[in-house]
Amino acid sequence: MIGILCSRIRIEEKALFEALRRRAVPFERLDEDRIQFPIGGTFPHPDVVLDRSIHHGRSLYALTLLNAAGVPTVNRARVARICGDKILTTAALARAGLPVPKTVVTFTRDAALDAIEAMGYPVVLKPMVGSWGRLLAKINDRDAAEAVLEHKETLGSYQHGIFYIQQYVNKPDRDIRAIVVGDRTIGAIYRRSDHWITNTARNGKASQMEVTPEVDQLCRKAAAAVGGGFLSVDLLEHEDGLLVNELNYTPEFHGFMDATGIDVAAQVIDYVEEIAAKPAVA
């Protein structure tokens, strides 16, 4: 039995359900609004769980508790913890020797302003946790830096009091998103936009690209650096070469499928069934 942890049913979840039905594989939708985890007790659970939650905190704790109970998951809790936090992701990539945009983390507004001035404008200020291109700020001068930093500090959340500052990469009007399933890069797309944020959730347009040996190797190494699994890898084209920007551990993929014709759902289910046959690793 395969469990699918869901927040809501999107195109991707429908594709996964259909792939399971075509194979006559029994599955159960695990609605995160209803699921319960009695800590220290036993609870009925599927043989393997595929995480499709859109809520990082719920994903992280659900996967942690499932792994602790010996349930294999895609992805593992460790992968969710790293990929769900931009600071941990960048640190893991850098530790693996992979090329990343110049990044500085500070804990106060004054230190952040000093780091921005030293890095040079423009810079990008990102939240530690977030997706779909939300809460990103491109800062072009000191006045903007002071205003945005003050605004974040005033919000009060501990996450907004930790400043993740990244050099702005003057890329073409596109970035690259690849999908890695297990140890394979199954395909890649360009995401194009007139805006500097190219996410398809922000009206970026997807088109297929060739997976070159360089892209394949970089994506597989990036996935391995965070623990592997079913991941999307975002690359930026810099004048000095490709940079690994971010990874997503519960990627949307309907735009990817439309652009490439690759049946991502089928390949993910193949991988989930492989994981079900192996012992869970926390």
Q: What is the DSSP string of 67-105?
A: HHTT--EES-HHHHHHHT-HHHHHHHHHHTT-----EEE
Stated pTM of the model: 0.91
* DSSP β-bridge partners for residue 241: 238
Q: Judge if 28 and 94 occupy the same domain.
A: yes
Chain mean position to CA 71: 22
Q: State the total domains in the chain.
A: 2
90 is in which domain, residue-wise?
Answer: 1-98+170-282
CA dihedral angle for residue 216, residue 220, residue 221, residue 222, rounded to 10 degrees: 100
Query: Is residue 72 domain-shared with residue 181, that is, in the same domain?
Result: yes
Q: Which residues pair with 48 in a beta bridge?
A: 2
Which CATH number characterizes residue 148's domain? 3.30.1490.20
Upstream peptide bond of 67 is cis (omega within 30 degrees of 0): no
Do 233 and 178 form a contact (C-beta atoms < 8 A)?
yes
Q: Over the stretch 174-195, which tens digit does the pLDDT of each residue have?
A: 999 999 999 999 999 999 977 6
Both 59 and 45 in a single domain?
yes
CATH code of residue 271: 3.30.470.20
Q: What is the DSSP letter of 141?
A: S
Which of 96, 50, 43 lies closest to 229, judged by CA?
A: 50
Instruction: List, for residues 48-79, the tens digit of each pLDDT value.
Output: 999 999 999 999 999 999 999 999 999 999 99
Per-residue confidence at 45, pLDDT binned at 50, 70, 90?
confident
